[in-house]
Copies of this chain bind each other. A is one copy, B any other.
Amino acid sequence: MKSLIECIPNVSEGRREEVVARLAESAVKAAPGVLLLDRTSDADHNRSVFTYLGDGPSLLTGMSALVGAALEAIDLGTHRGAHPRIGAVDVVPFVPVRNATTADCVALAKQLGRHLAERYGLPVYLYEDAATAPDRQNLANIRKGEFEGLAAKMEDPAWKPDFGPASPHPKGGATVVGARAPLIAYNVNLATEDLAVADRIAKAIRHLSGGYRFVKAMGVKLEARGQVQVSINMTNPEKTPLHRVFETVKSEAERHGVAVVGSEIVGLVPAQALFSAASHFLRLEADPGPQVLENKLLDLAFASEAE
């Protein structure tokens, strides 16, 4: 089996299903070596997350096509949604899966960034493991001010893009490209319409304000559901596991007299993160991973194809 890299573009369209479907397919049409593993849209966020799998060259071709299609279909000047964004294609992270390293993904991010600037005149920032400065590692820093504040932000030499012009693309803003470890996008929904509660819980769990080391979080209003949500990025689910964050959110919510309605995983999740949660709650005395039948099958399948 060749090198396998995951690529998870976040696109600023989550309401027009036919547009989302067309965008998701554009990468696969342009690069048959690219597989679409998953797509999830959220109408409140007005945002979709696509998960692709492929090798470096195929993903490069596919992402170029996706950005081209998005710049035609999306106009950030009229886009509204609960989730912060600066681009039509807002973020494009590369994640190593099998036979690929973080360094491979950093190189790929830089290749894509240069290409998008040249082909579409799009400003591109590099983030996480591909960042060119410490204050560009964190996506939230780059995205602060959003599309609406981008033109002004780019006048500051500190926020000159890594590739492309120092002014936003009129419809597509700017795109953030990078390499990172597997991340879990995880939301906990609360039985209240009071955004302040979600914001306070987000503050309690996120690293920036004293919470867990590998948690980013914010409160989001879910108009369609009449609820609020703690929207979480778990950036190292091995070290800061799902179950611990969930239990803390539940405890903090109780303190406000608010019930946890449910939770949701956006996009893909590594099996081990769910095994760890099961293990915690069932008080398993050993990590169940090595006993999982499907893990054995996966090892066999990939071992037999090794070169």
Query: A residues near B, CB below 8 A?
Result: 1, 4, 6, 35, 37-38, 53, 97-98, 182, 189, 242-243, 246, 260-265, 267-271, 274-275, 277-286, 288, 290-298, 300-302, 305
Contact = CB atoms under 8 A, between A and B. Distances in A.
**Interface class of chain A by DSSP:** mixed
Contacts of A294: 270-271, 294-295, 298
19 contacts: A6-B293, A38-B291, A97-B293, A182-B293, A246-B283, A263-B283, A263-B285, A264-B286, A268-B291, A268-B293, A269-B291, A269-B292, A271-B275, A271-B293, A271-B295, A274-B292, A277-B277, A297-B298, A301-B305
Given A293-B97, A298-B294, A284 B271 contact: no
Integer count of this chain's copies in the complex: 2
A112 B290 CA distance: 29
A292 B289 CA distance: 14
Contacts of A38: 290-291, 296
Nearest to A299: B37
A11 to B, nearest CB: 18
Contacts of A35: 300
A278 B263 CA distance: 11
Contacts of A261: 283
A281 B243 contact: yes
A283 B190 CA distance: 12
A246 B261 CA distance: 23
Given A278-B277, A300-B35, A302-B301, A265 B284 contact: yes
A260 B281 CA distance: 12
